[in-house]
Amino acid sequence: MLNIILGAAIHVTLVSGVFRGVLEWGGWAWCGRVSYGAYLLHFMFQKGLYGSMQTTHMFDYFTLVVLFSTTFMTYLLAVLLWLLVEEPLNQLSKILLRNEPKKDMNGIKNMDMEVNQTTC
């Protein structure tokens, strides 16, 4: 039992450096930003493609072409959706929902009227 635990600890220590660089790559953040839009759009591409097919038989090559082409189109439209809709609405909501202390006539922040929501 000790050998298994020791082997697992050594494996995690040695391999974590290699995988950490891959998992902390900045491109994953971009994929995470557009993934919900891709999730919503991919179903429409698949449904539209398979709904317009005349035959139910698909070859292996055709399956790969369909997979890669619909994934490419999905992420292309997901990026556009994120750039044109999702991110501007996020920025707008940050501006509108910003909770700044009000300033008096001299430009000094009035901290007396603020109530901490977590203590109430």
- What is the model's pLDDT at position 75? 92
End-to-end CA distance of the chain: 51
Higher pLDDT, 37 or 13: 37
What's the one-letter identity of residue 17? G
25 φ, ψ to 5°?
-65, 140
If pLDDT is split at 50, 70 and 90, which confidence band does 101 have? low
If pLDDT is split at 50, 70 and 90, which confidence band does 23 have? confident
Residue 76 near residue 34 (C-beta atoms within 8 A): no
Find the largest Cα–Cα distance for the chain. Answer: 76
Higher pLDDT, 32 or 51: 32
